[in-house]
Chain A
């Protein structure tokens, strides 16, 4: 479970200070799909980065599975990212020189899984996202939707409890976007993973258990699926 309390992020100092987040409170539960929405510059990607230990908070608290991570020294964050999170990026961020399987293997190798085991697990993960026949293709030979599915398989490497996704469907057509969201929804429902998604894409909102609207660094609205219905 993720618990965020009075989270703030400031850039700059004195008269040039910019408040990216101004005291955010948020709880995200296992098996839940939470969508963060809001206009550009509202602070949603900043919040996602801070949840994923990529960006450090200026003040406030982030508690993940009972462990306080705000204020931890920079040197301890990579290990936390590795053990707790899988990341999916808008631009896919695949390694262009590596095949689909090798891209997934990288995630496993970082977690200390190597050799034949990494190879087998990478193959399984790609099978799960429907790319069992594209194992040896490099990203340049894959469509946008296929690339994002490789990115999902990589994010799942090592079975992290939390998946953080930044605009995962933004670069995809509606068919590919739906396929990607089906995989993420299945992860949350069947594997009890926490999935936090930053999105502008109204087509995928119905996958959310809860939608949080952010504006000017503040949460301005919570909408649960029941309320939306």
Chain B
């Protein structure tokens, strides 16, 4: 009966186009909304995700990574005495004002790390090298925020808390969830820009010896560093992500939009598939009158739904990829990782076949005597 399913679909090209438009619209809506939400999740905690640290030491009770307060450097030596700790580096992350060459001011976050430590530095560097950050006034900014920060080219300067900040490199795609972009610089520069005391940092980033259990090390660190909180990198990432996404309106709004898109998409697909099936109701009545069992009719309807889902998905994922790719140069990235593409395929199949179940009920309840009514 697969012949009937295929031919039914392709016989009426206009109907097929309408069905596919409905499915594609729904899937693109869902992909964009969920992709936006995933983008938010990534952006909110990227500074942690790319830190390269195994553990974070922070002042007690910080709400998220962007809300750190100063710690005394003396803790570093205590941390280094714990077995399994391989490296401890200082990391500053602080909001400061960036004065544009034109005179206006923007809020930025200074991310100061110890050069050569392999922890806390920029990633996706497209211009400049780490050694360029060794200079006293050198900073890296992201290309996405160059215009916002009044920077047109390498070597342009601005002012941060009364000190010159000269752009010696660019990164690509390092976004901030807040309106304050990240500015990467050496820890020493960051101390100056953030007006931290000589013996202060905001975080210690800890790298462990290979194979050691982070929980065991953390437990020992807690015993030694009484006035600090110790987080695993994943804990810090989740804490930060949860704060920005769920405790601020923006993330919740995006999540609600994603959920709403799922509902709207499901309804549109259900209606589209339902009406496409009902269009053939008389044919299903004929099949029943001829002696087809109900499972034959299920087979035709489900196959039609599955074909529609695969075709709709194929178009939607191309559109989704295009939208996702285009969004990477904007402030709100739409992420479409492979697992989400796979999940969208499963969703398309589920929605189309689920919707067809509604019409199956209708089709199998047809009175076969309808075939004798004109």
Give B294's nearest chain A residue, CB to CB: A78
Instruction: Select the stretch in B74-82, B128-136, B242-250, B366-374 that faces chain A.
Output: B366-374
Q: Which residues of B contact A83 (CB under 8 A)?
A: 291
In this complex, how many residues of chain B approach chain A with their Cβ under 8 Å: the count is 24
A96, B371: Cβ atoms closer than 8 Å: no
CB contact under 8 A between A54 and B11, given known A97-B4, A110-B290 = no
**B343 adjacent to chain A (CB < 8 Å):** no
Instruction: Select the stretch in B57-65, B93-101, B281-289 that faces chain A.
Output: B281-289
A55, B296: Cβ atoms closer than 8 Å: no
**A107 adjacent to chain B (CB < 8 Å):** yes
Cα of A52 to Cα of B286 in the assembled complex, Å: 13
Main secondary structure of the interface of B (DSSP, over half): helix
Contact residues on A (Cβ < 8 Å of other chain), bracket: 20 to 34
B372, A89: Cβ atoms closer than 8 Å: yes
A90, B374: Cβ atoms closer than 8 Å: yes
Against A, the Cβ 8 Å flags (1 = close, 0 = not) of B290-303 are: 11110010000000
A81, B11: Cβ atoms closer than 8 Å: no
The contact of B296 among A95, A105, A110, by CB within 8 Å, is: A110
The contact of A82 among B1, B3, B290, B372, by CB within 8 Å, is: B290
CB contact under 8 A between A96 and B3, given known A48-B372, A78-B292, A87-B290 = no
Q: Which residues of A contact B374 (CB under 8 A)?
A: 90-91
A81, B290: Cβ atoms closer than 8 Å: yes
Q: Give A143 Cβ to nearest chain B Cβ, in Å.
A: 19
Q: Which residues of A contact B10 (CB under 8 A)?
A: 97
The contact of A98 among B7, B12, B282, by CB within 8 Å, is: B7
Within 8 A of B (CB), among A98-121: 98, 102, 105-107, 109-110
B292, A110: Cβ atoms closer than 8 Å: yes
CB contact under 8 A between A97 and B372, given known A78-B288, A81-B291, A110-B291 = no
Cα of A54 to Cα of B292 in the assembled complex, Å: 12
Q: Give A105 Cβ to nearest chain B Cβ, in Å.
A: 8
Cα of A85 to Cα of B290 in the assembled complex, Å: 8
**B8 adjacent to chain A (CB < 8 Å):** yes
Within 8 A of B (CB), among A42-100: 45, 48-49, 52, 54-55, 78-83, 85, 87, 89-91, 93, 95-98
Q: Give A4 Cβ to nearest chain B Cβ, in Å.
A: 17
Q: Give A37 Cβ to nearest chain B Cβ, in Å.
A: 16
Give B9's nearest chain A residue, CB to CB: A97
Q: Which residues of B contact A8 (CB under 8 A)?
A: none
Q: Which residues of B contact A93 (CB under 8 A)?
A: 282-283, 286, 289, 371
Q: Give A18 Cβ to nearest chain B Cβ, in Å.
A: 15
Q: Which residues of B contact A102 (CB under 8 A)?
A: 3, 7
Cα of A109 to Cα of B293 in the assembled complex, Å: 12
Give A110's nearest chain B residue, CB to CB: B292
Q: Give B295 Cβ to nearest chain A Cβ, in Å.
A: 10
Q: Give B298 Cβ to nearest chain A Cβ, in Å.
A: 13
Q: Give B11 Cβ to nearest chain A Cβ, in Å.
A: 3
Cα of A52 to Cα of B291 in the assembled complex, Å: 10
Q: Give A27 Cβ to nearest chain B Cβ, in Å.
A: 23
Q: Give B1 Cβ to nearest chain A Cβ, in Å.
A: 7
8 contacts between A and B (CB under 8 A): A81-B289, A82-B291, A83-B291, A87-B371, A95-B8, A96-B283, A106-B4, A109-B1
Q: Which 4 A-B pairs have the closest CB atoms?
A: A82-B291, A97-B11, A81-B291, A97-B7
Which A residues are within 8 Å of any B CB, using their own CB?
45, 48-49, 52, 54-55, 78-83, 85, 87, 89-91, 93, 95-98, 102, 105-107, 109-110, 138, 154, 166
Which B residues are within 8 Å of any A CB, using their own CB?
1, 3-4, 7-8, 10-12, 282-283, 286-293, 296, 368-369, 371-372, 374
Q: A106-B4, A107-B290, A110-B290 are in contact. List 5 more A-B contacts (CB 8 A).
A: A48-B372, A54-B289, A55-B369, A97-B12, A110-B296
